Amino acid sequence: MNQQERQQQLLRQTQQGNSNKNHDGLSDDEVQIVDGNPHTARTKENWNLMFKELRKYRIKNGHCKASRTKDDPKLAQWVKRQREAHATLDGTTHCNCKITPEQIIKLDSLSFWWGIKHPTQPSWHESYEQLKKYQQSIGNCNVPMNKPGESPTPLTKWVSYQRSEFKYYTKGRESLLTIKQIDKLTKLGFDWNGKLVDQTQTLKKQHKLKTQTNAVNNTISATQTKTTVVKNAATSQKKDHESVEL
């Protein structure tokens, strides 16, 4: 079972909340996660507390690479365990740590570094430039959701993260967004309360916009051609008239 299949299976089990102990393919720890075991509830609470600490660290330092020597050793060890747990999802390594798809998504929102085997996530500026190109092409910043069963695109997730961080900012809490970044997104026409739009409707708008653009270009081209023909005809008539006079 590859990493994506593993995550999807865990996510289905989590959403079902099934207390049946017969969870095929899941470890005992993973079964507890979907069964709502009191011990697991405490574990989840502890995880959320450490996540909040990492979020504060990310806001302060701009990255999630906590060091055992320079930073809080407890936080650094927790960060290391998240990477180890993530590495077990492809079946190539093993450790006692477990991680859920929801936790992976939350860590991704902090631009968490999963290790050298995983691609580095785009910087804020790089994602902003992607959104800017999208806005120039479509006319808005409402990046479409994916089709059912498909994973969200990096840009879709990034847009969602910006709205979440903006909520922290408006409530007076620490936010990963800076005032400068908020200003740039606002000037771009970013809808802070917007909802992800249906991909089908967006594709229809893209096709309509392309059709209209082509029609305008064709009209301009036809007008230019007609003007050239008229000018050439006028020039030819003038030369003929001058020839007759001579």
Check whether 2 has a pLDDT greater than 80: no
The structure's pTM equals 0.54
Query: Is 193 part of any domain?
Result: no
| Boundaries of domain holding 223 | 210-246
Query: Which band of pLDDT confidence, cut at 50, 70 and 90, is reported for residue 138?
Result: confident
**Does a structural domain hold residue 192?**
no
For the segment 169-213, what is each residue's pLDDT rounded down to a tens digit?
898 888 889 999 999 999 999 999 875 444 445 455 555 666 766
Specify whether 94 is located in the same domain as 152. Answer: no
Query: In terms of domains, do 13 and 98 share one?
Result: yes
Together in a domain, 144 and 53: no
Tally of domains within the chain: 3
Mean pLDDT of the residues in the chain: 74
Q: Using 50, 70 and 90 to split pLDDT, how confident is the model at 105?
A: confident
The answer to whether the beta carbons of residues 62 and 112 sit under 8 Å apart is no
pLDDT cut 90: percent of the chain above it: 19
pLDDT 10s digits, 120-133: 778 899 999 999 99
Same domain, 29 and 75: yes
pLDDT tens-digit readout, 61-90: 888 888 888 888 999 999 999 988 888 887
137 and 216 part of one domain = no
* Residue 31 domain flag: yes
> Same domain, yes or no, for 61 and 87?
yes
**Same-domain pairing of 131 and 171:** yes
**Are 133 and 221 contained in the same domain?**
no
Domain assignment of residue 49, yes or no: yes
Q: Considering the domain boundaries, does residue 222 fall inside one?
A: yes
Q: What is the pLDDT of residue 15?
A: 47
